[in-house]
Amino acid sequence: MEIVVTGRHTQVKQKFRDVVESKMNRVTAIAPDAQRAQIVLTHEGNPRQADTAKRVEITVIAGSTVVRAEASSTDEFSALDMALDKLTLRLRRARDRRKDHRRGYINPVPVDLGTVAPEPEPEEETEPEEPNNSPEAAVASDLGPGESVEVQVGDTPIVIRRKLHIAEPMSIDEALYEMELIGHDFFLFVNKATGRPSVVYHRHGWSYGVFEIDTPENVKAAKEE
């Protein structure tokens, strides 16, 4: 398995890289088909956020499956341990559901895996010569699949991040499952039953919501048919 470690707003020390290499066998033990693991270490410079100054994001790609977890702590090593705990739990769930699916069990929790565009490898932090710190700059440029851009608004702490996500048509159950794997509270997809851009999101407990997006013209035309 290829292991890539990068840093955002911080330099990654060799000791951290060595610890990552030694602990990633937890991933291969559960997901031997994993091809790539991407670990991103981020430093939060605000002293008021010292308790979560270090954030570790781990993304594992195994075939068309992408599993993601992140955690924050006072130091990068404890953040790594917490992120790995979350990741291995999600990997076990994915493995068990694949086994149940092959055996033909009926599971109320969705088990089918949709195709998710893998996270791009983050680039090392570079300072632009003449930054354009405006909200318009975050949405002005064209992006390729999986590419993203971040722009800080003036001297404020506000950062706008824009990313192009390639959404494969899938069912609502498949979208909920993908949301679980990447550990987000929402997931963008194209509903294959309606063809509409849609969002599933977590409300509370075991309650979920779905938003579908369409134009007034399309809705009116559908009613007239």
| pLDDT of 14 above 90 | yes
Summarize the confidence of residues 41-47 as an average pLDDT: 80
Instruction: State the pTM of this model.
Output: 0.53
| pLDDT of 214 above 50 | yes
C-alpha to C-alpha distance for 153 and 133, rounded to whole angstroms = 5
Percent residues over pLDDT 90 in the chain: 17
| pLDDT of 20 above 90 | yes
pLDDT attached to residue 116: 44
C-alpha to C-alpha distance for 216 and 223, rounded to whole angstroms = 11
Summarize the confidence of residues 57-78 as an average pLDDT: 87
pLDDT attached to residue 139: 53
Are 160 and 154 in contact by the 8 Å Cβ rule? The answer is no
Summarize the confidence of residues 192-209 as an average pLDDT: 83
| pLDDT of 180 above 70 | yes
Question: Where do the DSSP E strands lie in the chain?
Answer: 2-8, 36-43, 54-62, 65-73, 148-152, 159-163, 169-170, 186-191, 197-204, 207-212
* Contacts of residue 124, Cβ cutoff 8 Å, sequence gap at least 6: 6, 7
DSSP run (H or E) holding 86: helix 76-103
Average pLDDT of the residues of the chain: 76
| pLDDT of 142 above 70 | no
For the record, the structure tokens of 188 come out as 């963008």
Domains, in order of start, for the chain = 2-101 (3.30.160.100), 144-222 (3.30.505.50)
pLDDT attached to residue 161: 72
Over residues 93-128, the pLDDT tens digits come to 877 776 655 555 444 444 343 444 455 555 555 554
DSSP one-letter string for 173-211: HHHHHHHHHHT-SEEEEEETTT--EEEEEEEETTEEEEE
pLDDT attached to residue 93: 80
* DSSP state letter for 164: -
